[in-house]
């Protein structure tokens, strides 16, 4: 099983504020859909609630400490380890939020990131990317246009062996 963390982050590793995204980049959303469709996605309860419903065409696993939590069309678990045990014949994607990303860095094989070339006021941040552990293996840069108010890059890191 290959575990991939997928996230969009600002220059200072910003993820969000008040449980919401900080930017709207249509190409990032299109890429996210394309990459995760047909796979298992694992996310924390707050991330799930910010989405409002299960992501279609994916197996959704929600992590929460609340033993009585339920979510329509989702599997609910109480830990990252339990979430990974539920994954069968798939390479799951970790969707966040900040706490789940922090827990996942040691077990992830790949970081699939959108780096937004701007700074934002935020209350949730992505963990530090230690380049002695993670090696950049792919980068695709994009410039600002009428639909994308910031320069951004799709960047993939693989864990060094």
Question: What angle (nearest 5°) sits at the alpha carbon of residue 127, between those of residues 156 and 142?
Answer: 35
Q: Is the pLDDT of residue 161 over 90?
A: no
pLDDT digits (tens, 9 = 90+) for 109-158: 999 999 999 999 999 999 999 999 999 999 999 999 999 999 999 999 99
C-alpha–C-alpha distance, residues 60 and 78, integer Å: 14
The percentage of the chain sitting over the pLDDT mark of 70, rounded to a whole number, equals 100
Give me the mean pLDDT over the 41-67 stretch: 97
Q: Which residues contact 40 (CB under 8 A, 6 or more apart)?
A: 58, 59, 60, 61, 86, 87, 90, 92, 93
Q: Strands, E, within 1-109: which ranges?
A: 4-9, 14-16, 40-44, 59-63, 74-77, 93-96
Smallest Cα–Cα separation from 96: which of 160, 156, 36?
Answer: 36
Location of structure tokens 């069968």:
88
CATH number of this structure's domain 4-159: 3.40.430.10
Question: What is residue 89's predicted lDDT score, i.e. its pLDDT?
Answer: 87
**Would you say residue 60 has pLDDT above 90?**
yes
Boundaries of every domain in the chain: 4-159
Burial 35-66 (b: 16+ CB within 10 A, else e): ebeebbbbbbbbbbebeeebbeebbbbbbbee
Task: Give the tens place of pLDDT for each residue, 99-117.
Answer: 999 999 999 999 999 999 9
């Amino acid at each position: 099983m290959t575990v991939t963390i997928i996230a969009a982050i600002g220059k200072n590793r910003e993820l969000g504020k008040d449980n919401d995204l900080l930017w709207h980049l249509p190409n990032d959303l299109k890429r996210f859909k394309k990459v995760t469709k047909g796979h298992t996605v694992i996310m924390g309860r707050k991330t799930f609630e910010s989405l409002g419903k299960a992501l279609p065409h994916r197996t959704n696993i929600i992590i929460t400490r609340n033993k009585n939590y339920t979510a329509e069309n989702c599997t609910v678990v109480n830990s990252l380890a339990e979430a990974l045990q539920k994954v069968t014949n798939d390479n799951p994607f970790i969707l966040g939020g900040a706490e789940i990303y922090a827990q996942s860095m040691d077990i992830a094989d790949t970081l699939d990131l959108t780096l937004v070339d701007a700074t934002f006021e935020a209350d949730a941040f992505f963990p530090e990317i230690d380049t002695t552990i993670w090696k950049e293996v792919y980068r695709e840069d994009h410039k600002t246009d009428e639909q994308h108010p910031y320069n951004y890059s799709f960047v993939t890191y693989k864990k060094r062996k």
